[in-house]
Amino acid sequence: MSISGPIYQVIVRDIADQISRGSLKPGDQLDSELRLAEHYGVSRMTLRQALGELESSGMVVRRHGSGTFVRAPEQLHRRVNQLGAFHEEMGLDARAIDTRLLVQEVIAPGPEIAADLRLGSGQTTSHLVRLRTLKRVPIAVQESWIPYLLAPALGRDGLVDGSLYATMKERADLEVRSAEQSISAAAADEQLAVLLEVPVGSPVMTIRRVSSAANGDPIEVALSSTVPSLPMVVRLER
């Protein structure tokens, strides 16, 4: 039998999967190092390497003399009353969020998106879909349409530090200055369920946003779907 990658990474992925799926819950104690090493058929040194990575990623905590426990998740929320990059809305360092670019293409948008972007007949958009993960757990899928002629590179090149807004600013001098958005609940379809690792039909929160430049011209339509465990916070003032 051949195993792809270091053996300890197999253990990391297996325990992380049990945590993300709820087989191991916050506060649960893992088996002893000896029992886990016997279970996976590895040395205790290899097992400790796996536990060390799980601890550094924040999934478990090791307590001297007591054992290893599943760490309770941080109480995170997403502030949607201030424009910014996704990690800024989450109040996290950019390095805490991993971004996987799933789709990057040039397409003719549907009529509703074309109208929001004030596009004429035959005009195209750069279409991007990104998966956001936090500590290997999917938390959001974001889909964006940007008029192609505003930033042609968005249809072919990668993103700067995983950030669409940073890429738009650096490569096309485009900056979002205002936006109109609507928030609603939806049920995860098959594709979204696979990406967010939730059952089909599970509730998700969606934000549909039309963003504009300083002159008022629309430059992006975005659809963001997040897991319900990530509450949205809106600040209201009188």
Give tens-digit pLDDT for 7-25. 899 999 899 888 878 889 8
The two three-digit tokens of residue 124, written as one number? 């195209």
Query: Are 103 and 201 within one domain?
Result: yes
At 210 the pLDDT is 96
Domain that holds residue 33: 7-70
At 2 the pLDDT is 52
Query: Are 32 and 136 within one domain?
Result: no
At 236 the pLDDT is 60
Query: Are 47 and 118 within one domain?
Result: no
Identify which of 21, 174, 159 has the alpha carbon closest to the alpha carbon of residue 99. Answer: 159
At 1 the pLDDT is 47
Domain count, the chain: 2
Query: Are 51 and 141 within one domain?
Result: no
Mean pLDDT value of segment 36-43: 94
Looking up residue 188, the CATH number of its domain turns out to be 3.40.1410.10
Query: Are 157 and 41 within one domain?
Result: no
When comparing pLDDT for 5 and 1, which is higher? 5
When comparing pLDDT for 129 and 53, which is higher? 129
What is the overall mean pLDDT for the chain?
A: 87
Least confident of 58-67, 86-95, 141-150, 167-176: 86-95
Query: Are 58 and 104 within one domain?
Result: no
Give bridge partners of residue 211 from the DSSP assignment.
179, 220
Query: Are 181 and 226 within one domain?
Result: yes
List the 97-107 sheet strands across, edge first: 97-107, 125-134, 137-147, 218-226, 203-212, 178-187
When comparing pLDDT for 6 and 110, which is higher? 110
Query: Which of 51, 70, 89 is the last residue before a domain boundary?
Result: 70
Query: Are 30 and 53 within one domain?
Result: yes
Give residue-wise pLDDT tens across range 59-70: 899 888 889 999
How far is Cα 151 from Cα 170, in angstroms, rounded to an integer?
10
Q: Computed over its alpha carbons, how large is the radius of gyration of the chain?
A: 21
Q: Is residue 1 part of a domain?
A: no
Q: Is residue 55 part of a domain?
A: yes
Query: Are 122 and 211 within one domain?
Result: yes
Q: Is residue 238 part of a domain?
A: no
Least confident of 22-26, 148-152, 211-215: 22-26
At 232 the pLDDT is 65
Residue 91 and residue 79 in contact, taking contact as beta carbons nearer than 8 Å: yes
Mean pLDDT value of segment 79-93: 68
How far is Cα 104 from Cα 155, in angstroms, rounded to an integer?
6
Mean pLDDT value of segment 102-127: 95
Mean pLDDT value of segment 131-158: 89
Burial 208-218 (b: 16+ CB within 10 A, else e): bbbbebeeeeb
Looking up residue 29, the CATH number of its domain turns out to be 1.10.10.10
Confidence of residue 95 (pLDDT cuts 50, 70, 90): confident
How far is Cα 101 from Cα 130, in angstroms, rounded to an integer?
5
Per-residue pLDDT at 216 exceeds 90: yes
How far is Cα 35 from Cα 69, in angstroms, rounded to an integer?
15
Query: Are 165 and 209 within one domain?
Result: yes
Scanning the structure block, which residue is given the tokens 């049920």? 187
Query: Which of 70, 93, 123 is the last residue before a domain boundary?
Result: 70
Confidence of residue 219 (pLDDT cuts 50, 70, 90): very high
Residue 205 and residue 183 in contact, taking contact as beta carbons nearer than 8 Å: yes
Q: Is residue 2 part of a domain?
A: no
Task: Tell me whether strands 137-147 and 125-134 are parallel, antiparallel or unpaired.
Answer: antiparallel
**Cβ neighbours of residue 146 under 8 Å, at least 6 residues apart?**
125, 126, 128, 154, 168, 174, 219, 220
Query: Are 102 and 199 within one domain?
Result: yes
Predicted TM-score of the model (pTM): 0.66
At 91 the pLDDT is 66
Query: Which of 29, 46, 70 is the last residue before a domain boundary?
Result: 70
Query: Are 65 and 109 within one domain?
Result: no
